[in-house]
Amino acid sequence: MDAGIRFRIIKDRIFLGAVILFSFMLLLPLLLILYYIVVNGIGVINWEFLTSLPRPMGEMGGGIINSMVGTLMLVIVASLFAIPPGVFAGIYLAENKTGKLVNTVRMCVEILQGIPSIVIGIIAYAWIVVTMGTFSALSGGVALAIMMLPVIVRSTEETMKLIPDTLREASLALGVPYSRTVLKVIVPAGVTGILTGVLLGIARIAGETAPLLFTAFGSPFMNTNIFKPVDSLPLLIFNYATSPYPHWHNLAWGASFVLVVFVLGINFFAKMVARRWKVQF
Amino acid sequence: MSVVSVEVASAAGVSETREDFRDACTAKRPGRPGSSMTSDSLFKTVLYASAVFMLLLLGGIFVTLAIDSVPAFKEIGFSFFTDTAWDPVFKKYGALVFLVGTLLTSFVALAVSVPFSLAIALFLGEYFKEGAFSVFLKSAVELLAGIPSVIYGFWALFVLVPLMQNIEMKLGVVPYGVGILTASLILAVMIIPYSASISSDVISLVPSDLKEAALSLGSTRFEMIKKVVFPYARSGIAAGTLLALGRAIGETMAVTMVIGNANRLPTSIFSPSNTMASIIANEFAEATETEYIACLIQVGLLLMVVTLIINVIGRCIINRMGVEH
């Protein structure tokens, strides 16, 4: 074989090797992160950790029940605010494929998705915290709702677009009014897709910290009143991790483990839902 | 499809009564109050209102940031963007340090991430489009994308920072551990999944007749990628990189935890600094004076405008290429 060709083939092999090497080097940080969370986190987790309130600094023991409840509250409040307008806006975008308003709204949703989370925190602070005069779960929920909204709009729109036009036409041809066609034919056919979007939205906001720093604010007490400050898992991890106490660092590892399991679990669940739904079409 | 057709039957045919059907048939005729026409127009109004709500929300966010930062602009003016001193105690508010810190961390992170995200994009979009390896790598990328940012920060603080201290000691620089490079490294890991998935979508869109033409002319796969795939996917890869940059600029928690929070211009890549996002995260909750808060909000406005420009350019390129993402 001519040397030039051999050289070219060697270059090709080296390139392939580099691609594989660089690709799998990404596994290194992933495995290290998961390793540290599992190794440091799993030892902390016991019944007391999951069911009791945090202790004052200096005391050993203590748990994270208040921040788990807080995270749940924030997610529920955010979902209540984000799902209805998100789904309707998604339907609107899918039903009116072109037009000046539609394109503008679509652009807006993309821009909303790109807004840094800390800026959304400022907005919720200005809109809710300043108006009500206090940090609250409500303001945190609103901040998270703004983060969740674009995810829901886009996934709803993409799902609606996948539903065959023949379905809509069949329904309309039978004389079914437009609103019923959408609500009873098109939405049920795509409901799993919308659900996937909602789940991905929840997974996105459940681990968010930045917008909560000056809205939900954090609190060491159990609180179920949405007009009062609440703690959340990511906030607790941030506060404990940046504190100087080794015992709090340990608790933060435990909380990280819980949070990662929760977020990745939702992501996984969303993928399962999406996979089942794809089979149908 | 069978599930879907049952839906149609139950929604349109079976459950409807004769009256409903007649109503529906005559719905378009004017002057029938109480018919489904009103519910139709109500429904359309709700849809329309939800869409307009998105516009209002974005507009509201801009207006709020602009109005709330007016006191800062009145007080300080343009020196806000050119002054390097940030000392709220002496009422000195210059945001240049944070702008520099943000751009420096983001671009270093981008530079670190590009070889990895390109390799993953080629792996998933060209070399191994399906199969066990591809599924494995794809899941790993999705896992990385799913880990919350505060956990990246936490991990970096306890694993990466001591490691960096060791390296800095060997190199003979002040071993802070925290600083621009540490923040950039963790940022790079965080944005790789993002740019890799967009780039691999773009690369898998390269028409196979172009690629086959190159191969049939005797080029190796590497030459084909260099001369066909990259030129074809160039703008899409650039857009994916831009969107990743936008994400890096807005990233808050991980950076806040390892940047070192020093309000001075970085002298080297190892020195601690602050970014626009991290200064807000650190100081907003403890700011009490109106002017201080207004200045932080103005930093937020600046941050938003920078990410907005980058995101809009990236999106425009991607939309023009017709990549669904």
Chain B within 8 Å of A18 (Cβ-Cβ)?
yes
Q: Are residues A269 and A136 in the same domain?
A: yes
Q: Are residues A62 and A36 in the same domain?
A: no
CB atoms within 10 A of CB B115: 14
- The burial of B208, by beta-carbon neighbours within 10 Å (0-12 exposed, 13-18 middle, 19 or more buried), is given as exposed
pLDDT of chain B along its 325 residues, tens only?
334 433 444 444 444 444 454 455 445 544 444 455 678 889 999 999 999 999 999 999 999 999 999 888 888 888 888 888 888 888 888 889 999 999 999 999 999 999 999 999 999 999 998 889 899 999 999 999 999 999 999 999 999 999 999 999 999 888 888 999 999 999 999 999 999 999 998 999 899 999 999 999 999 999 999 999 999 998 889 888 999 999 999 999 999 999 988 888 888 889 999 999 999 999 998 888 888 999 999 999 999 999 999 988 888 888 777 554 4
Q: Go through the domains of chain B in sequence order and give each one's CATH number.
A: 2-68 (no CATH), 75-321 (1.10.3720.10)
pLDDT at residue number B1: 34
Q: Are residues A18 and A55 in the same domain?
A: no
Residue B122 and residue B211 in contact, taking contact as beta carbons nearer than 8 Å: no
State the residue range of the domain holding A243: 47-280
pTM for the whole structure:
0.88
- Residue A194, both tokens: 């919308």
pLDDT of chain A along its 281 residues, tens only?
678 889 999 999 999 999 999 999 999 999 999 999 999 999 888 888 888 888 877 777 888 999 999 999 999 999 999 999 999 999 999 988 788 899 899 989 989 999 999 999 999 999 999 999 899 999 999 999 999 999 999 999 988 888 888 988 999 999 999 888 988 888 888 888 899 899 999 998 999 999 999 898 888 888 888 899 999 999 999 999 998 888 899 999 999 999 999 999 999 998 888 777 654 43
Which amino acid makes up residue B188? A
Chain A within 8 Å of B155 (Cβ-Cβ)?
yes
Q: Which residues, 6+ apart, have CB-to-CB distance to B226 below 8 Å? A: none
- CATH code of residue A111: 1.10.3720.10
Q: Are residues A211 and A159 in the same domain?
A: yes
How many Cβ pairs closer than 8 A exist between chain A and B? 291
Q: Which residues, 6+ apart, have CB-to-CB distance to B287 below 8 Å? A: B88, B293, B296
Q: Are residues A22 and A98 in the same domain?
A: no
pLDDT at residue number A1: 61
**Chain A interface disruption, residue of B6, B8, B70, B229, most A CBs within 10 A:** B8
What are the chain B neighbours of A158 within 8 Å (beta carbons)?
324
Sign of CA dihedral A261, A266, A269, A275: negative
- Residue A35, both tokens: 């390793």
Q: Are residues A102 and A194 in the same domain?
A: yes
Q: Which of residues 27-56 of A touch B (CB under 8 A)?
A: 27, 29-30, 32-34, 36-37
Q: Are residues A36 and A66 in the same domain?
A: no
* Chain A residue with Cα closest to B275: A118
- Residue A105, both tokens: 């709204």
Q: Are residues A14 and A129 in the same domain?
A: no
Q: Please answer yes or no on whether B50 and A85 come within 8 Å at the CB atom.
A: yes
Q: Are residues A26 and A68 in the same domain?
A: no
Number of domains in chain A: 2
Q: Are residues A168 and A208 in the same domain?
A: yes
- HSE-up of residue A124 (Cα within 13 Å, Cβ side): 29
Which of B50, B58, B280 lies at the smallest CB-CB distance from A112? B58
Percentage of chain A exceeding pLDDT 90:
59
pLDDT at residue number A12: 93
Which of A24, A176, A207 lies at the smallest CB-CB distance from B148? A207
* ipTM for this model: 0.91
Q: Please give, rounded to a whole number of angstroms, the shortest distance from the CA of B265 to a CA of chain A.
A: 22
Q: Are residues A63 and A176 in the same domain?
A: yes
The pLDDT tens digits for A43-78 are: 888 888 888 888 877 777 888 999 999 999 999 999
Q: Are residues A31 and A90 in the same domain?
A: no
